[in-house]
Amino acid sequence: MYPYKNGKTDGIAKSWNKYGKLTYSIEYKNGVENGAYRNWSKNTGKLTKETLYVNGIRQGVEKEFNDRTGKLLTSTQYVNNKRHGTEETYDQNGIKYITCYQNDQKLSSLDNPTQIKDNATTGDSSAQFALGKYEFICANIDEGIKWLTKSAEQKNTDAIYFLATAYKGNGIPANNEKIPSISATSCNTGQ
């Protein structure tokens, strides 16, 4: 059922299957998608997808759900019809992995981010490096530098190399004052 106003789709359009179950709904304004698109499972009737539109363009968070349990499977940020920001993928225990996008291009991903952050917080230099690298690449520079520095202070050679490269102007403005301290850390590890 599509509502019309002045010859254009306007309002919430809905469709049902032959058993009378709602299969989708989408909001229109003046003939253009403007609001929430929702899709339901034909078998269980549970919500399987929700996407937000502004003037016909995906904008905001798109969510996909398990058609049997209704639990969230993915949550993806969209800007101007492109993935832009963080996509979270879930399993029964919570967030399984995260991926960051910029203009629909995948920048980086991190498996089991909750465990990685817990391990990084308790001093695991490998976890600190993984978290720092993810944050840095995904444009959370200060947070990335914080975790990379903690990892480098524990003589993690990957973190030392990453920071030295960054301070030479790769990803952030060059900072020659930081390079000697990174180089000294590197020398102390035998690198």
CATH of the domain at 77: 3.90.930
151-164 pLDDT tens trace: 999 999 999 999 98
Question: Of 60, 83, 111, which one is at a domain's C-terminal end?
Answer: 111
Q: Measured between alpha carbons, how far is 100 from 82 in angstroms, rounded to an integer?
A: 12
My answer on whether 86 and 29 are in the same domain is yes
Average the pLDDT over each of 39-43, 84-88, 166-170 and give the range with the smallest value: 166-170
**Domain with 156 in it:** 112-191
- 38-49: buried (b, 16+ CB within 10 Å) or exposed (e) per residue? bbbbeeeeebbb
Residue 180 has what pLDDT?
Answer: 46
| pLDDT confidence bin for 175, thresholds 50/70/90 | low
Q: Check: pTM over 0.75? Answer yes or no.
A: yes
